[in-house]
């Protein structure tokens, strides 16, 4: 039988760089042929060969209700019938903004945009405009979109100015970017000691999803908040992945339970708030947000910002996940998946650890949970790649890279979890020890 995925990939490479429109889709990290998806429903995807997969990517997080949820689909169809785009305000933009504000303490106003990258770069510009400072801190392994100033890596030492990690990014653009190791309080303190009054903000993924799943320690989070406050810098939470995914109030609400009174200054949202449509947002206090045009001097604009179809999709999604008990049930389901995978690995005599929060999870072929990017890079990549392909062959679609988190939806059933663990048990038993 002709492999339609392979045929499509060969065709795509002639028309699209690398055959994909986002690099991780090319399967370069794991090898093999990407699956071209024809359709999706609930917890499942079907590829070009009409093979079904249990989906643990969920479009990289947005599909928290699963694919094609009836209430969301109905809202999108009704909105589309009224018009795709107006380039003018709509009432639904206000409703979505109000829904976000209602669930996330510390957010008094939001600005809607079209992508997480756009939201992240706008939040950085806002922090710089509000403080009048140029330097900012980010952490190795945290991804905040592909804006030039954010595509950097650390050099040697604890607090080294960044160097571009992409061609086309001039060194001058990232000269004010400081890149530190994640979960390293000493490095953070050293950076503020050296540059504290020049730092506009610290930008962080509170639970990093782009080095698999690595959560910030309480001591690290507490230090970030304290040092930002003491030095007049803003703490920017990139919750593109974690917002409305790990909890209704996002990761900020998770940390606030352990650190009473804890609150970031600026929030970046995406994925779930758009329900799978191109939509993102950034927000904060009225004082900070008042710096944005047309009120203030920080310019940001977008033709498709607050798109009426995207806002309908996002609002319908938020309405569903705000139901009582939703996140408790989702977290229990996700935890059962992680526990099942780790248990299956231990039965096979293979080291594996895992972690989860809400509907987001990760696992590593290692003896202990990594705390930073360097440790993640040292975990068993070859074993992960073999495991990935074994699971894919058995109809389980995991992220095609060691460095990506996974996602569970409310559409996943107990049978889906059991089938996934059973497949993992088979694959793990066949892997070299």
* pLDDT at 227 exceeding the cut of 80: yes
Task: Return the pLDDT at 164.
Answer: 65
Query: pTM for the full model?
Result: 0.95
The tally of domains found in the chain comes to 2
Confidence tier at 1 by pLDDT (50, 70, 90)? confident
Cα-based torsion angle of the residue sequence 390, 391, 392, 395 in order, rounded to the nearest 10 degrees: 130
Kindly state the tokens that stand for 417.
């979890």
* pLDDT at 157 exceeding the cut of 60: no
* pLDDT at 341 exceeding the cut of 50: yes
Q: Among residues 47, 55, 238, 355, which one is catalytic?
A: 238
Domain boundary among 264, 291, 321: 321
Kindly state the tokens that stand for 110.
């939001």
Is 255 known to be catalytic? no
Dihedral sign of CA atoms 306, 87, 299, 135 in order: positive
* pLDDT at 291 exceeding the cut of 80: yes
- State the greatest distance between any 2 C-alpha atoms of the chain, in Å, as a whole number: 65
At 355-379, the pLDDT tens digits run 999 999 999 999 999 999 999 999 9
Task: Return the pLDDT at 160.
Answer: 37
Query: Higher confidence at residue 56 or residue 159?
Result: 56
* pLDDT at 48 exceeding the cut of 60: yes
* pLDDT at 410 exceeding the cut of 50: yes
245 and 369 co-located in one domain: no
Q: What does each C-alpha distance from 347 to 289, 342, 384 come to in angstroms?
A: 53, 9, 17
Nearest to 227 by CA among 265, 258, 256: 265
331 and 316 co-located in one domain: no
Q: Among residues 135, 138, 271, 333, which one is catalytic?
A: 271
250 and 372 co-located in one domain: no
Confidence tier at 151 by pLDDT (50, 70, 90)? confident
Q: Rounded to an integer, what distance in angstroms lies between the CA atom of residue 244 and that of residue 326?
A: 11
Domain boundary among 262, 290, 321: 321
Mean pLDDT (the chain) is 95
Is 238 known to be catalytic? yes
241 and 348 co-located in one domain: no
20 and 97 co-located in one domain: no
Nearest to 284 by CA among 221, 222, 236: 236
- Count other C-beta atoms under 10 Å from residue 160's C-beta: 15
Task: Return the pLDDT at 161.
Answer: 46
Task: Return the pLDDT at 168.
Answer: 83
Q: Rounded to an integer, what distance in angstroms lies between the CA atom of residue 247 and that of residue 385?
A: 30
Is 271 known to be catalytic? yes
Dihedral sign of CA atoms 343, 363, 357, 321 in order: negative
Nearest to 192 by CA among 123, 150, 124, 136: 136
Range of the domain at 379: 4-68+324-430
* pLDDT at 276 exceeding the cut of 70: yes
Q: Among residues 143, 182, 255, 397, which one is catalytic?
A: 143
Task: Return the pLDDT at 304.
Answer: 96
Percent of the chain topping pLDDT 90: 92
């Amino acid at each position: 039988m002709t492999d339609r995925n392979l045929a499509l990939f060969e065709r795509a490479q002639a028309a699209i760089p690398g055959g994909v429109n986002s690099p991780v889709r090319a399967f370069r990290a794991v090898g093999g042929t990407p699956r071209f998806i024809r359709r999706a429903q609930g917890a499942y995807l079907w590829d070009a060969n009409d093979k079904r997969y249990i989906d643990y990517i969920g479009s990289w997080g947005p599909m928290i209700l699963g694919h094609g949820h009836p209430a969301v689909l109905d809202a999108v169809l009704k909105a589309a019938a009224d018009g795709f785009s107006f380039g003018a305000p709509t009432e639904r933009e206000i409703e979505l903004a109000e829904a976000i504000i209602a669930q996330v303490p510390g957010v008094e106003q939001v600005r809607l945009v079209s992508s997480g990258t756009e939201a992240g770069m706008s939040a950085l510009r806002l922090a710089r405009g509000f403080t009048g400072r140029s330097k900012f801190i980010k952490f190795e392994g945290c991804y905040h979109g592909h804006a030039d100033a954010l595509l950097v890596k650390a050099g040697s030492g604890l607090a080294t100015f960044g160097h571009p990690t992409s061609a086309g990014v001039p060194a001058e653009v990232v000269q004010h970017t400081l890149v530190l190791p994640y979960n390293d309080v000493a490095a953070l303190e050293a950076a503020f000691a050296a540059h504290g009054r020049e730092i506009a903000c610290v930008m962080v993924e509170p639970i990093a999803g782009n080095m698999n799943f690595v959560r910030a320690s309480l001591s690290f989070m507490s230090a970030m908040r304290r040092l930002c406050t003491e030095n007049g810098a803003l703490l920017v939470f990139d919750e593109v992945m974690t917002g409305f995914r790990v909890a209704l109030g996002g990761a900020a609400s998770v940390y606030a339970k352990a650190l009473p009174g804890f609150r970031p200054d600026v929030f970046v949202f995406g994925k779930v708030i758009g329900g799978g449509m191109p939509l993102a947002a950034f927000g904060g206090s009225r004082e900070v947000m008042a710096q944005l045009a047309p009120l203030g001097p920080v310019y940001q604009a977008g033709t498709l910002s607050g798109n009426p179809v995207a806002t309908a999709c996002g609002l319908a999604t938020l309405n569903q996940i705000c139901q009582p008990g939703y996140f408790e049930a989702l977290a229990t389901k996700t935890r059962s998946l992680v526990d099942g995978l780790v248990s299956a690995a231990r039965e096979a005599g293979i080291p594996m650890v895992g972690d989860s929060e809400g509907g987001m999870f990760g696992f590593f072929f290692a003896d202990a949970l990594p705390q930073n990017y360097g440790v993640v890079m040292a975990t068993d990549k070859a074993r992960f790649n073999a495991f990935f392909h074994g699971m894919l062959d058995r109809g389980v679609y995991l992220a095609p890279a060691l460095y990506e988190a996974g996602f569970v939806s409310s559409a996943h059933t107990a049978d889906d979890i059991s089938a996934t663990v059973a497949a993992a048990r088979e694959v793990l038993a066949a892997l070299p020890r």
